[in-house]
Chains A and B, each alone.
Chain A
Amino acid sequence: MHEFSIASGIIDTIEPKIADPSKLNKVRITASPLSGISYDSLSFCFKELCAYKGYYNAFLEINAVAVSMKCAQCDTGYECSVLDTFCPVCGSSDRNVVSESQFSIDFIEIEE
């Protein structure tokens, strides 16, 4: 539900970098399952907002990264793209979340 607010925040951040709204092409962000967003919903909201604001050629590219875990029982490191998967070696849910929650605007691409 809050993806419209997040899309709005992304545009607020990049807006000062853009001289001609019609030239904005790609906005790349990085997010993880810990970001607490629906990727589809955010892309949809971003597109709607861009159309309203004149960024007619802009689209959002989401670099969806996994969360790095380390099993607290057998020390195995593993990646989770969904958080209900546990240690692939011993099956334990006892683990440490190694990676921080990643949620950043990486870059934009402007076309000629």
Chain B
Amino acid sequence: MCDNCGCLPVDWKHRCKDKDEQGQGHMHKHVHGNEHGHEHEHKHEHEHEHGNEHEHEHTHEHEIKQKIAIDRPVLEGNDYLAKINRQFFNDHGLFVINLISSPGSGKTTIVEYLARHFKQQMAVIVGDIQTHRDAERARAAGCKSVQIETLGACHLDAHSVGHALETLDLQGVKLLVIENVGNLVCPSTYDLGEHEKIAVLSLPEGDDKVLKYPALFFRASTILLNKIDLAPYVKFDKDKVIDECRSLNRSVNVFEIAASSGLGMENFIVYLSGKFKKD
């Protein structure tokens, strides 16, 4: 069992392109073995069903002797590595965005459009469960790219991004796009060191997603409403979506785009260009 979502093989290591099969230098801590039983002893008597119920309303007979304060963030380990990544980005004059959305919303098409515009001033780190397809698409569109295959994990974390940076030629790069694993839930929790989280929501996904997945839309500073050219064909209340985004983040920027045709992309490019100094 892997320590991300419990669905990975025992010897899993994430693979960064150009790394060897052993994931050179990767220091994953994995807790493996999904065959463990639950024959453990309890001094007190109560039924453990090992389900989700965990209220512990019963009275424990244990005498509590020590209460030890921890007072540390749950994601401290990731946050520490994200801080190192952010320092690296700042030291190298990179503006970094973390693109997050559900699968199929058009993240890679957006990346391709940006790559055709920014060319070698842009690099991409792409996360997917498997294949190098998106990194290859970005490269074919004209920018530098590296693929992270998570092999099951549902999100990128600061650690995997840090290793991906080791394999990326950043000479001349001003804009780094991290295209996260397609998922509206988990990626929003992890700081990768980016300067902005950007959420992509496409019209065919429906107009009910913002409050269903609030953590992402709370943290995203920019929303890209993609496939806007499909508005005549799908039911999508754009004003409602924007209102709900603003109910979680009043200062959010919204761009209406259709990355496949380029509609609205010039505004987004102007926005990004304002974030870094072009040569």
Interface residues of A (CB under 8 A from B): 1-2, 4-6, 8-10, 12-14, 17, 25-26, 29, 31, 33-37, 40-41, 43-45, 47-49, 51-53, 56-57, 59-61, 72, 83-84, 86, 93-97, 101, 103-112
Contact = CB atoms under 8 A, between A and B. Distances in A.
Interface of B: 1-6, 29, 31, 33, 36, 38, 40-43, 50-52, 54, 56, 60, 62-78, 153-155, 157, 183, 185-186, 188-190, 211, 214-216, 218, 243-244, 246-250
10 contacts: A4-B4, A5-B4, A12-B29, A34-B215, A36-B216, A41-B52, A83-B218, A107-B67, A111-B63, A112-B62
Contact of A110 (B65, B153, B154, B247): B65
Main secondary structure on B side of the interface with A: loop
A72 B251 CA distance: 13
B33 A52 contact: yes
B65 A112 contact: yes
B211 A84 contact: yes
A94 B65 contact: no
Contacts, number: 165
B4 A2 contact: yes
A105 to B, nearest CB: 4
A29 B74 contact: yes
A74 B211 CA distance: 22
B70 A107 contact: yes
B211 A36 contact: no
A57 B42 contact: yes
